[in-house]
Structure 1
Amino acid sequence: MFQSHRPEKFHALREVSFRVQHGESVAVIGHNGAGKSTLLNLTTNLCRPDRGRVEVHGGRVAALLDLGAGFHPDLTGAENVCINAALLGFSRREVRKQFDAIVAFAEIGEFINEPLRTFSSGMIMRLAFSVATSVNPDILIIDEVLGVGDLAFGAKCRDRIMQFRRAGKTILCVSHSNDTLKDLCERAIWLHHGRVMDDGPIARVVEAYKSAMQEHALHSAG
């Protein structure tokens, strides 16, 4: 005899509340499954909360959440640039004006006229990052994409994000590299099993997170 059980409801985030001011650069840190990506998805309306609300005030929002999200493999790199820039709010005139700069920053070369399915994952990431940051967004949301690609291009990405920060843009960023986050952000929100454990200056929050992870590892080993 089999007895059916209703699966327990899983809450990716619980009672999360915070405000990001215009011009702030904020890192979201935490272990895998802590709710970081869910939080970014909520801010970009890719998913909706069961309760509560998410309010995003500002102009143009550019999000790099999934490698190549919104890119079509059968279209050329050039066609994908035009479509994605338009989705981010660029007019045709603006796309034409920025097209060469987008391709140059992505270091794609003649591949820009080839179908996207012929691109490596690193090439797709470079193109996606170049498009998203070339539309001059007021809010830039980044989830782990800085870890894809070579070190030299990663440095270019960080330099461009720093330019955005100096220009007073709002940045929300997730990365497994705490050093990268400390370079790019001034504030950190630490998530643990969907709850905010700490929120404050990034150096302090990162150290608290690292100490907690080390203590957890010692207890697990013992």
Structure 2
Amino acid sequence: LGLAKRTKARILQASTSEVYGDPEIHPQEESYWGNVNPIGPRSCYDEGKRCAETLCFDYHRQHGVEIKVARIFNTYGPRMHPNDGRVVSNFIMQALRGEDITIYGDGSQTRSFCFVDDLVDGLIGLMNTDTGVTGPINLGNPGEFTIKELAELVIEMTGTSSKLVQKPLPQDDPRKRKPDITRARNTLGWEPQVKLRDGLEKTIAYFRELHAAG
């Protein structure tokens, strides 16, 4: 932000849907302040992103820095790291290895999965807006799926014999996650185009090749 101030650069803050915490409203819109435990096991990430948004808006108000704040919901696609700990890559890699697929809780918690191409289009659209548009703007796919539905889809699409195994739900794990993208539609003319099955097909093909290469 200091560099952006000195060079009069436009700066993008890649924020996150995790600023909403375990939300008490659904779907989540940008005006919602969130429900975040400030001292829980997830708080370092959640509060770090919330603090980053605060700093962006302070620099914008005090120094006129041109900011663009995007709240990014779950994103997936080829070139993810196979061991990054994200649910899509975890499920696909477990399926390709023939391992049991790990679900935390009963799998009824929901997430919204945005294909990476759609996200990039949204970020470019946000950066191309005029100076009056600061965000925050939700960027995510409003299609909502349970974690169990995702696991079952991965099993079907990979043809694996993997079984679902349940483990305890981590503390403060959000029960629901779905973006309200009204602001993105109206401001950017943006909404995701890639369906989950189509995006998973490309992602599974990438991981299958990676797995085959050892």
TM-score range, shorter chain: under 0.3
TM-score (norm 2): 0.23
Greater relative CO, 1 or 2 (CA 8 Å, sep 6+)? 1
Q: Which has the higher helix share?
A: 1
